[in-house]
Amino acid sequence: MTDPNAYEQTAIELNADQLLALEARRSPAQNSVLVVLSGPCPHCGDPTSFGVPLIPPRTVPGADPGEDLTDLEWLIGKLLKFWNWLLSIQTPATEVRAQIVMTCRCGVHHPAVPPSDDKVGCGRSWRVGLAQDLSRVLVPGVPTADEVAFEEQIRKFNDQRVTNVRDGAEKWRTGLALLLGLITAVSLVKGKDTISGLPLQIQYVVGVLLALGLVAAAWGAWRAMRAAFGNPTLKLPITPDELQARNVADGAKALTDLAIAKWLTVISLAAVALAVGLTWYLQKPPSPPAFVNVVQAKDHLSYCGELLKGDGSTMVVQKSDKNFRVYTIAKDISSFQIVDACRSPNPG
């Protein structure tokens, strides 16, 4: 004879009395991230509980650009959508799903449980409706196999989300650290020489862009590190609900940090690329050298070279890297003439 409480993965339908026996509460009490349904299993009667993450509110307006839009309308729609995304990732999950498929997860051993599977309880699943005030609503019918599988995948996803996000965040952290080092090295090595040939206003723009890229890269690296390693805490969970709630909350925080770190990476790269572009294409060409032919007063011989410096009293003329002369205009020069190039040999 088959044991009526043997494990069997099947769907059942709740009646009104079984629905009233279930309780719903938010966990934790402050800054809730879960709705925990608990009570006797409607089939085996053993106590069971089932945690379901809250979802973000759907009240943030969105812009979904359609097909027949001009380029400007499409761009505006994308910018609005990005702005709404920035608002939504900072919005805590507070809403309750209208319908939940609950599966028995009691701790009592039931015969015929598959030994190679992670199944627990008696295997029965049923639908539960929930209002936003956590009052239970009777939902007619039994859940489908897809609904049961979906709920199981959501549970596993929330259990593994922290690990998956942290693995991805560690790679982004490494990339952002390299980008931060590159920006710092370029800023320190090149210095003012890179922008000395730019108009003054463009120099300020390049400086602001490099500063923006540096700040964005540093902030993104910090966000990626926080997503990868989390915030250490000495507070240990004391109930299964608290452990599941912490996993959900840590996963949501890590996902938000990683999303912000990715966008900060884009902003940093864009700022640096724009600064480099301005440096390359708006740089003034170097002024051609000015040559001067000096007739020396002492011997009336000509000395031709590049005019390095000249003021009302002195003149510095360079023939080569190690051959230059400093003249006092009133004493040492008989006459001088600006020329296009030095063609005649100079005296030693």
What residues in the chain have per-residue pLDDT under 50? 1, 59-66, 189
Helix (H, G, I), strand (E, B) or coil at 22: coil
d(CA 56, CA 239): 25
Strand partners, 293: 304, 337
Cis bond leading into 199, ω under 30°?
no
d(CA 127, CA 103): 9
d(CA 319, CA 332): 17
DSSP state of 196: T
How many CA atoms are closer than 13 Å to the CA of 6, on its beta-carbon side? 7
Helix (H, G, I), strand (E, B) or coil at 268: helix
Q: Beta strands 302-310 and 291-296: pairing type?
A: antiparallel
d(CA 254, CA 260): 10
Q: Model pTM?
A: 0.58
Which residue is associated with the tokens 């090295």? 185
- Residue 223: φ, ψ to 5°: -60, -40
Strand partners, 292: 305, 338
Q: For the chain, what is the largest distance between any 2 Cα atoms, rounded to a whole number of angstroms?
A: 130
Which residues fall within 8 angstroms of residue 28, CB to CB, at 6 or more apart? Answer: 241, 242, 245
Helix (H, G, I), strand (E, B) or coil at 166: helix
d(CA 34, CA 95): 10
What is the per-residue pLDDT for 66? 47
Q: Which helix (H) or strand (E) holds 35?
A: strand 34-40
Closest alpha carbon to 97 in 122, 65, 123, 130: 130
Which residues fall within 8 angstroms of residue 242, CB to CB, at 6 or more apart? Answer: 27, 28
- Residue 48: φ, ψ to 5°: -140, 160
Lookup: tokens for 67: 């097909």
How many CA atoms are closer than 13 Å to the CA of 23, on its beta-carbon side? 9
